[in-house]
Structure 1
Amino acid sequence: MYFFLSHLSVCDILISTNVTPKTLQVLLTGRHLLSFSSCHTQLYFFGAFTGTECCLLSVMSYDRYLAICDPLHYSFIMKRHLPQFLATLCWLVGFFVSMIIESFVVALDYCGPNVIDHFFCDLTRLLELSCSDTKMTDICVTIIVSIIGIFQVVFVIVTYICIFTSILQISSITGRQKIFSTCSSHLAVVSTYYGTLIALYVAPSSGHFQTLNKVLSLLNTIITPLLNPIIYSLRNKEIRSAFSKNVLRRLKR
């Protein structure tokens, strides 16, 4: 679990560092100049890290499934090489899928407006600036993202259905609480991450909904990576104890 968690933390850091510096410049100056190649570079790495994080969350749900539903074979299945292989596969899938999407975007012509109404190079906003016919690009990107996204969401849902079924079969209340605590943090992170992604995908991106779209993007790119280490840290008894002591100390003052 901690091996995959370390990869998830690195991925969160890369997503934030890819978007946050330019976002701060936009907030401080009102606008920021960005070259065409820099915009596409930011878009590519943002897509790669986002895809990698989705894959890592799915792999972590599979790891929790094995630990809870098949604990006797967990050590045998999750040998040292399998976690490394799964983590490497997540990174490769993220970068490969982003490369495919970026190849469609780069092939378009851009000859009109050059102002992106967003705090980073968002794919939807970038396609709006193209003077080419983007119907085929929209269709291809939607198909790729939908297939991968739906597969990831369904996989996570199925694994947690199996996990909850196994938890309900345990007669001891203490045993249920102990097992549920091992996957509660991951479930909270998955719900937060996929919740903002689905809302971002479902919410309209034009008209009066542009502000909502920006807020959802902010949650997904900055707030969620910030919350992930907090959510996982609260599982640690020492951190919870230190946090409680500091809160009580401040309340007494």
Structure 2
Amino acid sequence: MFWLDGQTTSAIAAPKSSKESDIVTITDIEQKHLIGHLGQPLGKIIVISGVVRQEQSGAKSSPRDVLSVESVNDRPLAQPVTIEFNLFMTAQVAKPILGQSFKYIGYETGGFTGIPQDAFKFVPAVATTGHRFNTFFQVLQEELDVVKTKSDLIQFNNRRVQIIGRYVSGTKPAPAITGDIEFKGNYITAKIVLEDGTEIPIFPTYNKQSLRSPEEAEAYNGKIVKVVGKISSDRLNSEKITLNTFDGIWQYQAGF
């Protein structure tokens, strides 16, 4: 009941939906597990693997990299699931590369994105997506084989790995066979020294990518680091293994 111009009036109850079973309340979400696109509860730590693909969400949007998930917790999915991703701010994980396979530890999470169409009855319209619930995979760690000794090098040759060792840089005149023929001055190169003393050059010297930046050398020289990349035999010396791709470098923290 409520008062209107001095008269008592009966309140009109809000009409009930013909499909009350379709209604989900905040309390429901708080008390129950919300299952995501990957078939696991949102927020649950899981391991996913698959391939990095590209997806275009609209005719005018630019293609973006997404994860095409083929297995969850080492169990193959009936069909690959495409999902957006985000690298956790402190995660020591290299940015995914299009076409590259991955194996990540993390969790699916999400929330509402976009703007309700009725909002533009009150404010000027802007370019946006519809108001909807969207999920993404929060990447915490990448699962890769670890190289710490020479025996690991032999075992994982020609594979993408994470290398743990001491970063050692040096300078010398630009090598005559380097791909960077216009370079002048001292040429900074670096290597990762494993715990048994084995040295892994960051790219062979005839590759111009072997030139390291002064900023990188200053930040990591003499420190134990984690480097992610692909190791393979040097084409000029089959007994020497070098780092032939360089996806990322971080100061090593045991346990992470």
**Larger RCO (CA within 8 A; separation ≥ 6):** 1
Q: TM-score range by the shorter chain?
A: under 0.3
Structure 1 or 2: more strand by fraction: 2
Q: TM (normalized to structure 2)?
A: 0.17
Structure 1 or 2: more helix by fraction: 1
Higher Rg of the two aligned structures = 2
Q: TM (normalized to structure 1)?
A: 0.18
